[in-house]
Structure formats: C-alpha cells, structure tokens
Structure 1
C-alpha cells in the first residue's frame, strides 16, 4: 500500500509539472509582450538587374559574344551555352511576378545597378522615358545611377527621376550646388518581414571620362570607397542587413570587400559579369547579373537573429523556351514603339555571319566601322573608343540594331597626329586594360583600322606596346599621320588626351551613327572584316 501511494504521488507530480511549466511560459510571454522576439531563420529575396542599356527587346544569342562583354572579359569571361532567343523586359516581368507570388511581396526587393535607360534608339527618341515607364510597371524599389544614366544631360536625369516610381540614388555623386548626394538621400532603408535592410548605392567614379562632360556639369564624382566610409557607420545603426548597390565594376567591388568590413552583400554592375557562384571576400558576398536584360539575378538572404548567415543565388536566364512575355508589359512596349516603329524597324542591311562587339579585344563591329571611316575620309588610321554595350549583328540588320552599338551623337573628326602621339595613345589603352591601380580602370581596348601593334599586359606600364606599323611600315615618332575619329575621343574620353593635341583638327557635322546607317544602306551585305588580327593582346 505504501508503495502504491508513492507511485500515485509521483504520478500526480509528473502530470502537474507540464501544467506548472505551461503556466510559467504563459506568464513569461505575458510579461514580455512588448519585447521584440528574435528573428529566427528569415529569408528575403533580393532580385537584381544591371546594365540594361535600354535593351527592353529580346535578342538572339550566339556561342561567342552575343553581348559586348560576354566573350572577352579579362577577369570573368562568359559565353552563352546555347543558341536561342533570350531577354526582354516583358519576359523579365514574368519572372519577377512569379517570384513575388511565390515568396510574397513583403519578402522581395527589386534593385537595378544602373546604365539603364539609354544606349537604344527608342531610348534616344524618348530620352529615357520609355525604359522608366517599363520599370515603373515592374515596380522597382531602387536604382543606382550608372555613368550612362546622364547621357541625355543632368537636367533630363532629374526629369526622369521625377517620372520614376522608385528612387534613383548614388552616395558618391555630389550635387555641387547643395554639397549633398544627388537626389538627397545617400542610402535607402527597406522594411521586409520585420527586418531593416539598408541599401547604399554608389555610382561610377570615372563617369567624367566616359561621356560628354557637358552632361554632368554641376556634379562631382567621388570614389565609392570614400562614400562608403562616410555613410556606412551611420547605416549600421539603422539596418540589420547592409547591401552595397555598386556601379563600380567587379574589380573595384573586390577591393571594397577587402578594405571595408560591415557590408553583407555587394550587388554589382558596370562590368557586365555573371558572378556564379558568388564570390565571398572576408564576410562580404559579391553577385552580379550580366547585362541587356538577359538575366534576372536572385539572391536569397538567409538571416538568423537579424544577422546574415548565408545566401542562395539563382540566375534566371530569360530563355524564351522557358518564359513567356507578360501581357501588360508587352502591351506597354507596343504602345511605346507604335509611333516610331517605321524608324526602329527599318531594314538597313543584312549579314550572313555574326558580327559582334568585343570590349577588351579587337571588335569585329568596330573594325567594320573604322574601316569605313578610314576609307571614306582617306586617312591612314581610324580610331574609336572601346565601349562595353551592344549586342551582335546577325542576319537582318535594322536601324535599332545599329543604335544599340552606336547610340551617341558623336560627330566624325579628322586630324593629324605624330607617331609619338599615336604611340602614347596605344600605351594608354594598355593602361586602361590593366592599370597599376584597379580603381583607375576605364574603358576597353581602343578600336582601330589601318594600324598593327601588339600589347603585352605582363610588361611594365609604358613598355607594353610593340610592333606598331602603319601602311605596313614601322611607325616613326616624328612623322605625321592622318587620323579619323569622333568628337568623344577629342574630348578625352577614357583618358585619351593625345587627340586634342593633334594638328589640323577638322570637326565635321556628320554624326557617326547616321553616317554608318547611310553606308550600310548602300551595302547589300555586311561582311566580316578581313583585317581582323591587326591587334593582338597578351594578358
């Protein structure tokens, strides 16, 4: 009996213990109702695009270089794995809406890395408004200003910012009148699933070297590093997670990650890279999603107790056999194109091959253009800057195809330069490809016709160029050569200062784009240039 009583007592204690425990838990919950609970295992998806360059329409891939920087990047070469139709804002909208529906709008942020609304014929006609209206439909949250986002002048950029339903920002682009970052706020805070996510946008430090200086009068461009060091301590007091939205390029983003602690993610742009898998430097992840609206980047933040513990990345390649076009965007695009469709779709010429643009090496398209310039203006050599936008020409060539490659209203210039000045220009292009300090990276390989030379980037700066020949003769420093180029080069774009020092400078009124359109109209077919190989580059 005594043993049975003890068993009953033990049983009563055991069944009472959970009740006591639950009673205590309820009390604790009640007493801490106003205390914020820890955020365990939360996920926020950051969708990101970059360097759209006005490419709202789909395009055909090639296995070489369908976009300007896919095939010959020095740091991160990339090629499409198959032939097919890819990209387009209407297809991107489908991907964005699908992810928002799957993850919940409250768990998604959509960012753009800049160089967004110009470099396209419809962009030129509407001065950027077309792309802004499309981005409004996608409901972007923030865009950083890239160097080409001032192509229609600072005044027009201000007007576009007012049209946009999302902020455009850059902490390192200073309004000289106010002394503050352009468009006020240096950073933006987003509330997602109870978390404060801070996004610090920085533009391209070398913007004054990439376009018409008149377009950015009134602005000062400082380094991204300087702006980050200034605003990051303040942002840390307000944000649980910190994202740097950078238009500085992958090489500089790596430097930022090495030098600065406290940035969780760098979402990159400018260098048109697919960073897959993501790079991790110290505690900072680097991601980037190609260019030309071909890829939608998705970086899922894995967060425990308001700290980033990891990421999942997915690059949504917008292949048309996988995605369909969003009807609302498709209708908007048709509406925007309709008044101009005859101009946009004018059939200029055709090609039976693929004529692409390369950025860090000799470019087939630019070789075609410089060949025509050299011949029509009867010069010894022709030069164009190496630029990183545009897609490959294939089959039928329309007016808007040409504007994707030559979008700016630069005018043809002829002049005379000494052999010494040409030599210095070529040394400058070698420095641009591989400067001593990567912060100074600007532009690609200068494009040319009529001049042979070799670059060896493993050699010291100033001694990288050899074997220079014009008219199959070694260049003579004191000899005078006739040169054709355009007004951007004359203004010192990409640090090419020797053109302005030339003599007998003749500034024509001929816009290069219109000149090439007319030349192509007269050509039944555009052939792949036979004089490829005039320039060789050893890395």
Structure 2
C-alpha cells in the first residue's frame, strides 16, 4: 500500500515496570510503582465498516483498487502495490480471534459502522441473513445503521435486527410513530477492563436520497451532529470514554469532532476511507477502516485514572497470502452458500481485462453498461448513479455472483426524453455532489455516463462547472431533445438528480438491469475495457 500503515502498538507502561524492578529493596517505591501501573488501563475497539455484503475475498490490482478503496477523485486516495486477493469473512474471523487471544476478550470490543449486509448476490438471496449469521459467529457488540441497511425494506431490517445477537442502532433515525430512535436505545455502555465505554450510533442523514425512498417510509433522518450534541453530555456522566460510531462520512466526522465537545473517539464509515494514523481534531480522535471486510481496524484506548490519555491505531490488512482462514467460519460460509451455488457460480462471460468501478471519477464498468444500454435501447446517452460498492472484474471467467456484486439492486431499465438544458443541469448537480458548498449536502459520486462528452471544473463556482458538453461530436443545445437510457432508481431523485425524473416520454420497462446485462454479456462471449473511456475530463 502506498500509505503509512501497520503502526506498532506501544505499551506505555514499560518504563514504570522497569523502574519497579530496579527498586525492589524499597517497598514504598515498589508499591508506588505498582499503583502507577494499575492506574493505567487499555482496551481495544475492533471495527469494520461498509462491508456491503463482502464475505468473500476480492482482487486488488496496482492500477485499479475499485470504487471502495482507491479513486482519483477521493480525498484519501489508496493504491495497492501488488495484485493479490484480500478480505473475506474467514480471514476477518482469524484476525478478530487473534486480537482477542492476545489482548484478552475482556479488553476488546467489536463494532461495525454500517452498510453491512446488502450489495451482494448471496445477500439478495437470503435478504441479508447470511451476513448477520457471519457477524453473530464472531460476536459483534454493536452495528450502526448505514443507508444501504434499508435496501430490503424497513420490515426486513427489523427482522434482521431481531436475528442479530448484537443491536443495530442509530440515534438520528427516528420512528415516526414513537418519535424515538429506531429499534431502541441508540447507544450501548460496555465495561471492559474496568473501563466504561459508551458508544453512540449514528446513521446517514441523506439515506432517502441514496436508495428507494419507499424502503424508509415511516422514518425520519436527522443530522447526526445535532443529535450527538444532545446525547454526549448524558453519556459523559455515565461512562469513562465516549465513542461515536458514525455512518456520516469522514468530512462530516471531522466537522463533528470540531464542533461537538465531549467526544473522545469517532469511528467512521460511509466514505470508505483509511485513516492511519488516526486523525486528532481538538480533543477528539477520528478513525476509519476502509471497506469490504478487507481491513480490520484496531483502535487502542489508553487511560490513566479512568481518563483517556492516548489513542493508537493499527490496521490488520487481510491479505490472503498472509492470513490463514478460520476453519469454523469457512464452514459456516460454505453452509450458507451451498443452497445457492448454482446461481452464484453461473458462468456469464470471459473478461479480457481488469474492469473496475470508480466512484468519483469515470468508471469503466458503468461505461460498459451504459454502452450496452445505448445500443439495445437506441439512446443518445445512458446515465447511471455513481455508487461506492462493487468489485473489479478480473481477467478470466466472470460469474453471476460477480455481476451482482456490481449491480445488486432490482432496478429496471427506463427510457425517457430530456432537453439539453436538463442534461447540463444534471451534470452540474453531479459537480455539486462531488464538491458541495455544504458538506452535509454531499450525496453520491460522479454520475456515470456513456455517449456524452463534457469537461468539469470543480474549482469554479457551483452552477458554472460544466462546459463543452457534446453528444455525437455536436454541442448539446438547451432546447434540443435527447433520448436517455437509465434505470428507475434515478427517477426518484436519487443523489439529488431531480431533473431526470422530470423528463418526458418516460417508458418504464419490465426489464431488470442486472438480468439484461448478464444476457448481453453471455451473447458477447468476451468483454474488454470500454473503448470510449475518457469522455469526461475533471479538474479538481
């Protein structure tokens, strides 16, 4: 990895222990030294986030780390220095057990930051149950509710919360009937090694704009920072350490750290960042552990006289060549997969290249999908939402399971007519999503397009960032009509793209996008990197 990592954990009491050993002839000094040692305590919080149903290892390459882990448009760019497989729940279980064995289970907590059990074919087939069973097996203590944790609908999320042996919570998501935080008390207080730790869970404020709004009917989503300001004073009275488990994204976590007094640690999620070493803002530390069960974050809290004096971070990278899979977890994975193997392993196409997904820049996989939509539905352009989950298709056989990892949702293809003015407005909204005036308004990545060329300058004011827009080598005219192919998700205002839903001649087909793609790829026999990459130029 081209980033500082694998920081060693320092045991701060070594000098005190040594001092005690050198003064055995002085009982008073020895007693004082022993008391000093006892005043120091440490606990470790293990954390994952944005697993997106990723229970299997996936490929990393030197030039493409997928949308989750490396993207030219990300604030914290991560690139890999080797092609290898990483992650998988069997490997994650090994790392969790290793830390518990080394530190002592009575000194370790395990939490997840949300976006956990969907965005995967096995997740779809079991409606999230498989992932919950994997998490139960390693004994998570708490999970924050991310925006994608409602992908199967609110009722299913309730059922999964009951199936889980750990609470799923979000203080800023309230039930419209009870006006209380969804699923119950929005925080936990756990005592580990004599230290009381309060963990407040926060969900994503813009959840209704990231999926089907019907999935979250009956819920109200509030700004997490405002809710934290309400709860933190209460938690300070009840605990030695106050932790926020936040699915708000790194930029918002930094803002919360600056503006909400009393938070010791923010464990982040949503933005798929790797923060190593940990960031300190004022008196608050901020950490995050990338995504997709590729990394196990370990944050050690060091206290003296029940007061936090230091925070240390260590990330356990789950390179399959360096970690042995846990046999019991692998058996459980095999058990969950067995009834669905025929569907999961269905052969689709032969890939001739690494075809990845990017989030805040032009995405090869989404370009491929867009090209096929234009060809099959006679569109001028195709548009897809910019999303932060998926994998890279590697050279060789591609299975149904891999396609569903990139297109997991039951979206159906839609055609419509938009004016040139509406298209330009949509691209300006994409620019605003990438660089909003207010970070709380950030939602989604770059809208993914095929058939349209344009330049985007994020250094310019909002509304003036997009220029040289062309379709079929001709300037896009405001009053001209253009045929657009997309999916029904973008008709609902997803990622604030309201102009798409205002298009005319909307034709909602019955064709599921994922099934369409699988059929087209089977007909193609082989697939390669799209030839029209480079249609989008972005100045940041």
TM-score range, shorter chain: over 0.9
**Greater displacement, 105-114 / 224-233:** 224-233
Instruction: Return the offset for 1:171.
Output: 0.3
Partner SS state of residue 394, structure 1: coil
CA deviations over 1:325-363 (Å, ceiling 9, x no partner): 111110111111011101101111121211000000000
The equivalences for 1:101-250 within 5 A come to 101-250=101-250
Cα pair 2:411 2:489 within 8 Å, conserved: yes
Q: Does 2:31 align with 1:44?
A: no
1:439 equivalent in structure 2: 440
Structure 2 Cα separation of the partners of residues 276 and 208 of structure 1: 31
Aligned length: 510
- Partners of 1:53 and 1:115 within 8 A in 2: yes
* Structure 1 residue 69: Cα displacement: 3.0
- Asked whether the 8 Å contact 1:186–1:231 carries over to 2, the reply is no
Contact 1:350 1:394 in 2 (8 A): no
CA distance in 2, matches of 1:204, 1:383: 25
8 Å Cα contact 2:302-2:311 kept in structure 1: yes
The answer to which of 428-437 and 59-68 deviates more is: 59-68
The answer on 1:60 being equivalent to 2:54 is no
Write the distance in 2 (CA, Å) between the matches of 1:110 and 1:271: 20
Which position in structure 2 is the counterpart of 1:296?
Answer: 296
Which segments of 5 or more consecutive residues in structure 1 lack a partner in the other structure? 1-17, 26-35
TM-aligned CA deviation for residue 230 of structure 1:
1.2
Q: Determine the C-alpha separation between the residues in 2 that align with 1:65 and 1:249.
A: 22
Superposition RMSD on alpha carbons, in Å? 1.6
Map 1:81-480 onto structure 2 (within 5 A). Answer: 81-395=81-395, 396-480=397-481
**Is the Cα contact below 8 Å between 2:380 and 2:483 reproduced in 1?**
yes
- Report the Cα distance in structure 2 between the residues aligned to 1:87 and 1:335, rounded to whole angstroms: 19
Contact 2:266–2:286 under 8 Å retained in 1 = yes
Q: Residue by residue, what CA displacement relative to the aligned partner does 1:368-417 show, whole Å, maximum 9, x if unpaired?
A: 00000011000101000000001100022110100110000011000000
Determine the C-alpha separation between the residues in 1 that align with 2:296 and 2:391.
18
- Indicate the SS of the match to 1:354: coil
Look up the match of 2:521. 520
Q: Residues 183-213 of structure 1: CA distance to partner in whole angstroms, max 9, x if unpaired?
A: 1102110111111100011000000000001
Name the stretch that deviates more: 521-530 or 153-162: 521-530
3-state secondary structure, aligned to 1:182: coil
For residue 38 of structure 1, report the CA deviation from its aligned partner. Answer: 10
Paired residue secondary structure (2:351): strand
SS in 2 for 1:237: helix
User: How far is the alpha carbon of 1:499 from its aligned partner?
Assistant: 1.2
1:494: Cα distance to partner?
Answer: 0.2
Contact residue 65 and residue 78 of structure 2 kept, 8 A: no
Q: In the TM superposition, what is the alpha-carbon distance from 1:71 to its structure 2 partner?
A: 2.1
User: Could you tell me which residue of structure 1 aligns to residue 70 of structure 2?
Assistant: 71
Moved more, 450-459 or 518-527: 518-527
Q: Secondary structure at the match of 1:507?
A: strand
The runs of 5 or more residues in structure 2 that have no matched partner are 1-25
Contact 1:67–1:292 (8 Å) recurs in 2: no
Query: Conserved in 1, the CA contact under 8 Å of 2:415 and 2:506?
Result: yes
Query: Please, what TM-score do these two structures have when normalized by structure 2?
Result: 0.93
For residue 16 of structure 2, what is the aligned residue in structure 1?
none
Answer with 431-440 or 60-69: which moved more.
60-69
Alpha-carbon separation, structure 2, partners of 1:319 and 1:97: 16
Secondary structure in 2 matching 1:96: helix
Q: TM-score, length-normalised on structure 1? A: 0.93
Secondary structure in structure 2 of the residue aligned to 1:171: coil
Asked if 2 retains the 8 angstrom alpha-carbon contact of 1:39 and 1:306, the reply is no
- Give distance in 2, aligned partners of 1:143 and 1:530: 42
Alpha-carbon distance in structure 1 between the residues aligned to 2:279 and 2:81: 22
CA distance in 2, matches of 1:101, 1:74: 36
Which protein shows a greater Rg? Answer: 1
Q: C-alpha displacement at 1:226, in angstroms?
A: 1.3
- Tell me the distance in 2 between the aligned counterparts of 1:190 and 1:442: 33
For the 8 Å contact 1:42–1:304, the answer to whether it is kept is yes
Aligned to 1:6: none
Distance across 2 between alignment mates of 1:436 and 1:151: 29
Residue 307 of structure 1 and its aligned partner are, at CA, apart by 1.2
Paired residue for 1:482?
A: 483
Cα shift at 1:39 = 6.0
| Partner of residue 8, structure 1 | none
Counterparts of 1:385 and 1:40, CA distance in 2: 53
Alpha-carbon distance between aligned partners in 2 of 1:41 and 1:305, rounded to the nearest angstrom? 7
Cα contact 2:53–2:116 (8 A) shared by 1: yes
1:52-103, Cα deviation, whole Å (9 max, x unpaired): 0000001121113333132214311101222211110011001100110110
Equivalent residues of 1:188, 1:199 under 8 A apart: yes
Q: How far does residue 247 in structure 1 lie from its aligned partner after superposition?
A: 0.4
Task: Say yes or no: does 1:533 pair with 2:531.
Answer: no
Distance between the aligned counterparts of 1:192 and 1:428, measured in 2?
Answer: 47
Q: For residues 209 and 284 of structure 1, what CA distance do their matches in structure 2 show?
A: 29
Q: Secondary structure at the match of 2:149?
A: helix
Partners of 1:114 and 1:191 lie apart in 2 by 23
Aligned partners of 1:172 and 1:87: how far apart in 2? 31
